[in-house]
Amino acid sequence: MSLRADLATIAKWIKPDSSILDLGCGDGTLIKYLRNNYSVRAFGLEIDEKNIEACVKDGINVIQANLNDGLKTYFSENSFDYVIMTQTLQATKRPDLLIDEMLRVGNEGIVTFPNMAHWKARLQIGLGGYMPVTKYLPYEWFNTPNIHLCTVRDFQRLCKKQNIQILQTSFVDFQHSKSTLLMKLFPNLFGEIAIFRICKKLNQITTQPL
Protein backbone atom coordinates (compact mmCIF):
# COMPACT_ATOMS: atom_id res chain seq x y z
CA MET A 1 0.00 0.00 0.00
CA SER A 2 1.53 3.31 -1.10
CA LEU A 3 0.77 6.69 0.44
CA ARG A 4 0.70 10.16 -1.05
CA ALA A 5 3.75 12.20 -0.11
CA ASP A 6 2.31 14.20 2.79
CA LEU A 7 0.99 11.08 4.54
CA ALA A 8 4.25 9.27 3.82
CA THR A 9 6.09 12.12 5.54
CA ILE A 10 3.83 11.81 8.57
CA ALA A 11 4.39 8.05 8.67
CA LYS A 12 8.15 8.58 8.84
CA TRP A 13 7.68 10.73 11.94
CA ILE A 14 5.73 8.04 13.83
CA LYS A 15 7.59 5.66 16.12
CA PRO A 16 6.62 1.95 15.94
CA ASP A 17 4.28 0.59 18.62
CA SER A 18 3.05 4.06 19.51
CA SER A 19 -0.53 5.24 20.02
CA ILE A 20 -2.18 7.69 17.63
CA LEU A 21 -5.42 9.60 17.21
CA ASP A 22 -6.28 10.71 13.66
CA LEU A 23 -8.67 13.67 13.62
CA GLY A 24 -10.86 13.70 10.53
CA CYS A 25 -9.43 10.32 9.60
CA GLY A 26 -11.53 9.94 6.43
CA ASP A 27 -11.68 6.33 5.27
CA GLY A 28 -8.79 5.42 7.56
CA THR A 29 -6.05 5.26 4.91
CA LEU A 30 -3.32 6.61 7.17
CA ILE A 31 -4.40 4.53 10.15
CA LYS A 32 -4.41 1.35 8.06
CA TYR A 33 -0.91 2.04 6.81
CA LEU A 34 0.46 2.81 10.26
CA ARG A 35 -1.28 -0.18 11.79
CA ASN A 36 0.08 -2.56 9.16
CA ASN A 37 3.62 -1.18 9.01
CA TYR A 38 4.28 0.35 12.44
CA SER A 39 2.05 -1.73 14.74
CA VAL A 40 0.42 1.39 16.16
CA ARG A 41 -2.61 1.47 18.44
CA ALA A 42 -4.96 3.87 16.71
CA PHE A 43 -8.29 5.63 16.98
CA GLY A 44 -9.98 7.84 14.43
CA LEU A 45 -12.37 10.75 14.84
CA GLU A 46 -14.67 11.31 11.85
CA ILE A 47 -18.04 12.90 11.12
CA ASP A 48 -18.90 11.53 7.66
CA GLU A 49 -21.00 8.36 7.84
CA LYS A 50 -19.61 6.80 4.64
CA ASN A 51 -16.05 7.23 5.92
CA ILE A 52 -17.05 5.74 9.25
CA GLU A 53 -18.52 2.70 7.48
CA ALA A 54 -15.26 2.26 5.56
CA CYS A 55 -13.26 2.45 8.80
CA VAL A 56 -15.47 -0.07 10.57
CA LYS A 57 -15.21 -2.42 7.60
CA ASP A 58 -11.42 -2.33 7.95
CA GLY A 59 -11.53 -2.90 11.69
CA ILE A 60 -10.52 0.65 12.62
CA ASN A 61 -11.62 2.06 15.96
CA VAL A 62 -13.50 5.19 14.99
CA ILE A 63 -15.72 7.63 16.88
CA GLN A 64 -18.31 9.78 15.14
CA ALA A 65 -17.78 13.27 16.54
CA ASN A 66 -17.19 16.87 15.62
CA LEU A 67 -13.54 17.90 15.91
CA ASN A 68 -14.44 21.08 17.75
CA ASP A 69 -15.97 19.13 20.64
CA GLY A 70 -14.89 15.50 20.31
CA LEU A 71 -11.53 15.73 22.06
CA LYS A 72 -12.96 17.23 25.25
CA THR A 73 -15.79 14.73 25.29
CA TYR A 74 -13.90 11.48 24.77
CA PHE A 75 -10.23 11.81 25.69
CA SER A 76 -8.24 12.67 28.80
CA GLU A 77 -4.76 14.19 29.03
CA ASN A 78 -1.84 12.35 27.47
CA SER A 79 -4.02 9.60 25.99
CA PHE A 80 -1.89 9.28 22.85
CA ASP A 81 1.68 9.60 21.67
CA TYR A 82 0.56 11.47 18.54
CA VAL A 83 -2.57 13.37 17.52
CA ILE A 84 -2.74 13.89 13.75
CA MET A 85 -4.88 16.27 11.71
CA THR A 86 -4.42 16.50 7.94
CA GLN A 87 -5.76 19.45 5.93
CA THR A 88 -8.65 20.09 8.31
CA LEU A 89 -7.33 22.82 10.61
CA GLN A 90 -8.55 25.64 8.37
CA ALA A 91 -12.14 24.33 8.49
CA THR A 92 -12.43 24.35 12.31
CA LYS A 93 -14.08 27.05 14.41
CA ARG A 94 -11.08 27.86 16.60
CA PRO A 95 -7.84 26.38 15.29
CA ASP A 96 -5.89 27.80 18.23
CA LEU A 97 -8.09 26.05 20.79
CA LEU A 98 -8.12 22.82 18.81
CA ILE A 99 -4.32 22.76 18.69
CA ASP A 100 -4.26 23.22 22.46
CA GLU A 101 -6.63 20.28 22.77
CA MET A 102 -4.47 18.16 20.48
CA LEU A 103 -1.47 18.77 22.72
CA ARG A 104 -3.50 18.13 25.84
CA VAL A 105 -4.59 14.74 24.54
CA GLY A 106 -1.32 13.83 22.79
CA ASN A 107 2.35 14.17 23.60
CA GLU A 108 2.91 15.45 20.06
CA GLY A 109 0.73 16.83 17.28
CA ILE A 110 1.11 16.63 13.52
CA VAL A 111 -0.81 19.20 11.49
CA THR A 112 -1.07 19.82 7.75
CA PHE A 113 -2.82 22.72 6.03
CA PRO A 114 -2.91 24.60 2.69
CA ASN A 115 -0.55 27.59 2.65
CA MET A 116 -2.48 30.76 1.78
CA ALA A 117 0.78 32.59 0.99
CA HIS A 118 1.75 30.30 -1.91
CA TRP A 119 2.79 32.34 -4.94
CA LYS A 120 -0.26 31.33 -6.99
CA ALA A 121 -2.60 32.63 -4.29
CA ARG A 122 -0.56 35.83 -3.94
CA LEU A 123 -0.72 36.38 -7.68
CA GLN A 124 -4.50 36.08 -7.81
CA ILE A 125 -4.98 38.47 -4.89
CA GLY A 126 -2.30 40.94 -6.00
CA LEU A 127 -3.05 41.14 -9.72
CA GLY A 128 -6.62 39.89 -9.94
CA GLY A 129 -7.90 41.49 -6.75
CA TYR A 130 -10.02 38.51 -5.74
CA MET A 131 -9.82 35.59 -3.33
CA PRO A 132 -7.70 32.84 -4.85
CA VAL A 133 -9.17 29.68 -6.37
CA THR A 134 -6.52 27.03 -6.96
CA LYS A 135 -6.26 23.24 -7.04
CA TYR A 136 -5.45 23.16 -3.33
CA LEU A 137 -8.02 25.91 -2.55
CA PRO A 138 -10.77 24.95 -5.01
CA TYR A 139 -13.73 26.82 -3.48
CA GLU A 140 -15.14 30.28 -4.08
CA TRP A 141 -15.15 32.66 -1.11
CA PHE A 142 -18.93 32.24 -0.66
CA ASN A 143 -19.09 28.43 -0.51
CA THR A 144 -15.78 27.45 1.03
CA PRO A 145 -15.64 25.26 4.15
CA ASN A 146 -12.28 26.88 4.91
CA ILE A 147 -13.06 29.57 7.47
CA HIS A 148 -9.58 30.15 8.92
CA LEU A 149 -7.02 30.07 6.14
CA CYS A 150 -3.47 30.83 7.19
CA THR A 151 0.11 30.98 5.94
CA VAL A 152 3.22 29.16 7.08
CA ARG A 153 4.30 32.29 8.96
CA ASP A 154 0.88 32.65 10.57
CA PHE A 155 1.16 29.14 11.96
CA GLN A 156 4.70 29.76 13.17
CA ARG A 157 3.53 32.91 14.97
CA LEU A 158 0.65 31.00 16.57
CA CYS A 159 3.06 28.36 17.85
CA LYS A 160 5.27 31.04 19.37
CA LYS A 161 2.30 32.75 21.00
CA GLN A 162 0.98 29.51 22.49
CA ASN A 163 4.39 28.29 23.71
CA ILE A 164 4.45 25.44 21.19
CA GLN A 165 7.70 23.95 19.94
CA ILE A 166 8.04 23.11 16.25
CA LEU A 167 9.92 19.81 16.06
CA GLN A 168 9.90 19.17 12.30
CA THR A 169 8.50 20.73 9.13
CA SER A 170 8.01 19.60 5.55
CA PHE A 171 6.23 20.95 2.48
CA VAL A 172 4.67 19.37 -0.59
CA ASP A 173 2.71 20.58 -3.60
CA PHE A 174 -0.92 19.86 -4.49
CA GLN A 175 0.06 16.68 -6.31
CA HIS A 176 1.75 15.66 -3.04
CA SER A 177 5.12 15.40 -4.67
CA LYS A 178 8.22 15.47 -2.52
CA SER A 179 9.63 18.78 -1.31
CA THR A 180 11.67 20.72 -3.83
CA LEU A 181 14.69 22.89 -3.07
CA LEU A 182 12.60 26.05 -3.50
CA MET A 183 10.07 24.74 -0.96
CA LYS A 184 12.86 24.12 1.53
CA LEU A 185 14.47 27.53 0.97
CA PHE A 186 11.26 29.59 0.71
CA PRO A 187 8.44 27.49 2.25
CA ASN A 188 6.02 30.40 2.70
CA LEU A 189 6.24 31.24 -1.01
CA PHE A 190 6.53 27.84 -2.71
CA GLY A 191 5.03 25.33 -0.26
CA GLU A 192 1.42 24.53 -1.15
CA ILE A 193 0.78 22.07 1.69
CA ALA A 194 2.59 22.58 5.01
CA ILE A 195 3.31 19.73 7.45
CA PHE A 196 4.25 20.56 11.05
CA ARG A 197 5.21 18.27 13.94
CA ILE A 198 4.72 20.10 17.22
CA CYS A 199 4.69 19.69 21.00
CA LYS A 200 4.26 21.85 24.09
CA LYS A 201 7.49 23.43 25.30
CA LEU A 202 8.72 22.08 28.60
CA ASN A 203 8.50 24.59 31.40
CA GLN A 204 11.91 25.82 32.36
CA ILE A 205 12.86 24.68 35.85
CA THR A 206 14.30 27.45 37.97
CA THR A 207 16.26 26.75 41.12
CA GLN A 208 16.27 28.98 44.15
CA PRO A 209 19.64 29.92 45.68
CA LEU A 210 20.46 28.02 48.86
Write the pLDDT tens digit of every residue in 82-121.
999 998 899 888 999 999 999 999 999 999 999 999 898 9
- Report how many domains make up the chain: 1
Quick one: pLDDT band at residue 79, thresholds 50, 70, 90? very high
Q: What is the pLDDT of residue 178?
A: 65
Q: What is the pLDDT of residue 208?
A: 38
In a domain, 95, yes or no: yes
Give the helix/strand (H/E) hosting 84. strand 80-86
Q: What is the pLDDT of residue 176?
A: 55
In a domain, 142, yes or no: no
Give the helix/strand (H/E) hosting 95. helix 95-105
Q: What is the pLDDT of residue 153?
A: 95
Please compute, for residue 16, the number of CA atoms within 13 A of its CA located in the half-sphere on the CB side.
4
Q: What is the pLDDT of residue 204?
A: 40
**What's the CATH number where 66 sits?**
3.40.50.150
In a domain, 207, yes or no: no
Gyration radius (Cα) of the chain, Å: 18
pLDDT tops 50 at residue 205: no
Query: What percent of the chain clears pLDDT 90, i.e. is strictly above it?
Result: 60
CB distance 6 to 169 below 8 Å: no
In a domain, 128, yes or no: no
The residue range of the domain holding 191 is 5-116+149-200
Strand order in the sheet with 164-172: 61-64, 41-46, 19-23, 80-86, 106-114, 193-200, 164-172
CB distance 103 to 124 below 8 Å: no
In a domain, 139, yes or no: no
